[in-house]
Chains A and B, each alone.
Chain A
């Protein structure tokens, strides 16, 4: 049953957070793998793609340092998102004094310019829709997975996806005209 599976997942995740809080690096590595995509989505909706890759590392390194202070292991996802959002905001503020870099050295093939053009359109959408759309379209997560990872209700995710896609469609069609 879905409810049982979800509660089992939550329990497993809580155990991982607990283990990571006690200094278990393998457990922390598992959390990094599980949440890396979501944090990446939060970041690329706010900063340039090239910077997001490094910032994912920064977010997790900061989380690792501060994890012993986390009181409630169930609050880990929300806590991690707040670190990511704060770091993205700080980073964007600092970066206003530097030039934009989407074209960076990376260990993977560079996506084409059209991908960045669409990403910029998503970045211009209201914040409510950005993360959800990126999780669905970039990170390849399904609606239920997004709800599970972000703590949003399925209804909220569905609404964000529908409205976000509609707005994005309008922007892209407008851009083509």
Chain B
């Protein structure tokens, strides 16, 4: 279940907190009544987004974007704000003018949440997460379309390798033929290759085997007569 929900739901909570919390802390400076209720509600998210964007662009200008640089930058921003608040409070206590106090406007009173309401809200959250998990399971299943992959690659040592990967969802028997024109240069079988498994075969040096331009590698399923997959190696 946890895996179906992006491995770690706590990380999502942390991500939301990172978007909202530093900005929310900064916005504590704003008197509650200074903004319309809906604007004040979303302003934490907006400032959180803006903060990350600006910090990111500035970080890029002086260094690289890494986890520690992000953390350091955010600590500096929030710490700087904290210091400013303390300085501002001390300034007020010295008799200097206080920060502006704003006219009051409409504000929300959070309603009392009844137990039944809470149960329904939690149930809604649970069902929604279940819906996502169900959709993910369905999408994963759709990605299991049976297939076989055949490819050729050259190793650092200069050896040409032909690889077969079975993704058919069941154990498979394959036969591989290497041809130069009508002449078969090599032939081998891959027996009982389990689904998800891969078989690799080193080709003998091709240059010695054929005078023709291209070599064709054909993969057959079990006793099929027509090739199921094929490759062409130009020379």
Q: Do A and B bind each other?
A: no
The chain B residues found within 8 Å of chain A, CB to CB, are none
